[in-house]
Structure 1
Amino acid sequence: MKTTRLNVRMSERRLNKIRQYAANKDKTVTQIVEDWIDRLPNKEIDKNSTVPLPVNPAD
């Protein structure tokens, strides 16, 4: 599997909160974020598309 880096800006308070949550679940922050993304509903998209999805898609 090819991995890609994601940079997210957030407050130190939120970063500490997700780090603590991950530690309590015995997971990495990456695993927590991936689990959350995996719970999002799937939209029919071309997996090879280079067009970014909208930030706030209209349902």
Structure 2
Amino acid sequence: LIPDFWTATTIAIAVVFVELWAIAWIQNRYLETPFLRAVLQVVLGGALVFAAGALIGGG
């Protein structure tokens, strides 16, 4: 585990960015989805997951 909060948060953000980019690239490459549309879908899906986590964790 990474003891420093901000270092851990920065690394987590970078990992999530790479994962979401990879999902968009796979959609573009293999499902023939236009790249910008794939990015929009991935970002929207990520926002929904984040919102659900915030609602669950905040209550």
- Name the TM-score, length of structure 2 as normaliser: 0.32
Higher relative contact order (CA 8 A, sep 6+): 2
Structure with the larger helix share: 2
TM-score, normalisation: structure 1: 0.32
